[in-house]
Amino acid sequence: MPLRREEVVSDSEETRQKVLEAARSLGYVPDPAARRLAAARSNLLGVFSFTATFPTDVQHSYYPFLVGVEREAAECGYDLVLFTGSSTGGAGATGPDALSRVRLADGCLFLGRHAPAQELRRLVADGFPVVHLGRRDELEGLAWVGADYVSAGREVVARLAALGHRRMLLICEDDEAHASTDREHGFLKGLEAAGLPGGPETVFRSADPERDLTPERLRGWLAEGVTALVAEETDTGAAWRALRRAVTEAGIDCPRDASLALLGSPPADLADGPEPTGFDIPHTQLGAAAVRMLAALVAGEDATEPLVACAFRPGATAGPPPSAHQIRRTAPPVRTAQGDL
């Protein structure tokens, strides 16, 4: 006896609800890529930023990266689709679907100092083409491109040593990001190569440099014989901003009384000041290299890109070290509860 139409519909809906209930209990997350034919490609490359909103200001530190990404993607015949962390909880997003949307593209490039390791590891394990812009060698199998911050940091120290500086101090944020550790490693290797004192006492690390780097602390370093202060560049620019403020408030003339150097480019709000001695990060070249690597992974080819060299920037904030007499003469007295020092 044939089933009536309404019986078939009722049975189908009951089955559908059972399937949905089972999927929810198992934590199943729909994969947008699975809805396409297995062999099909979208000719799209994803770019995922872990900032709250995607950087579009030409002064934003990520903007030059995007210029290189766009140009190289066009050369490789790909269009771009942009994703942000703002719709998934930002860099702290977790869960099986936190980055599932990137699978709409053939592969994805990730930008950010603190990308979620677990989610990237899952994408790599699934065989989805992923490239991280910046060193991430702690995640096995994750492809990345990066700048040679170690060699660049060594060169900055070598240039300062050639000017006659014998006591240098690195000022950095309390951050375990690879870019920070590479800069610190380059700084320390530079001191070692120049035969100068190194070790933990040559690095000032702070979770809040703008609070901890005071004029009094700065004068204390100079009184101890430090003649060159080197700051790292980060997304926040906090170390360089704090150093410039402390120098101004302490009445220190640079480079006459002390030399300054920056391992990277200055924050946009300080770009109109004296050009800092240091090095320039090849943002555009890094973006292009990342796209070349991602395109190779999508095509199933071997993907290797060398570290991109950073160019030394002479700047205007470094010169020969002053004498101890000059430091004492130019630095205002430090006021304490007991009086002037």
Q: What is the pLDDT of residues 72-123, one digit of tens each?
A: 999 999 999 988 765 544 444 444 565 788 899 999 999 876 677 888 888 9
* Residue for token pair 């006021």: 335
* Distance from C-alpha of 327 to C-alpha of 50, rounded to nearest angstrom: 44
The answer to whether the peptide bond before residue 255 is cis (omega within 30 degrees of 0) is yes
Residue 44's nearest CA partner among 87, 6, 82, 14 is 82
For residue 333, the model assigns a pLDDT of 42
* Distance from C-alpha of 258 to C-alpha of 112, rounded to nearest angstrom: 33
* Residue for token pair 């120098």: 247
**Contact of 184 with 231, CB cutoff 8 Å:** no
The model's confidence at residue 6, banded by pLDDT at 50, 70 and 90, is low
Phi, psi for residue 265 in degrees, rounded to 5:
-105, 150
* Residue for token pair 């009445």: 251
pTM score of the predicted model: 0.75
**Contact of 172 with 178, CB cutoff 8 Å:** no
What is the mean predicted confidence (pLDDT) over 194-206?
93
User: Across-strand partners of 143?
Assistant: 131
Strand order in the sheet with 228-232: 203-206, 168-173, 228-232, 259-263, 277-280, 311-313
* Distance from C-alpha of 119 to C-alpha of 94, rounded to nearest angstrom: 7
**Contact of 241 with 265, CB cutoff 8 Å:** no
- For residue 334, pLDDT over 90 is answered with no
The model's confidence at residue 237, banded by pLDDT at 50, 70 and 90, is confident
For 185, counting Cβ atoms within 10 Å of its Cβ (0-12 exposed, 13-18 middle, 19+ buried), the class is middle
* % of the chain with per-residue pLDDT over 70: 76
Exposure string for 269-295, b = 16+ CB within 10 A, e = fewer: ebeeeeebbbbebbbbbbbbbbbbbbb
* Distance from C-alpha of 262 to C-alpha of 275, rounded to nearest angstrom: 10
Residue 62's nearest CA partner among 74, 71, 50, 73 is 50
For residue 59, the model assigns a pLDDT of 52
Greatest mean pLDDT among 84-93, 162-171, 268-277, 331-340: 162-171
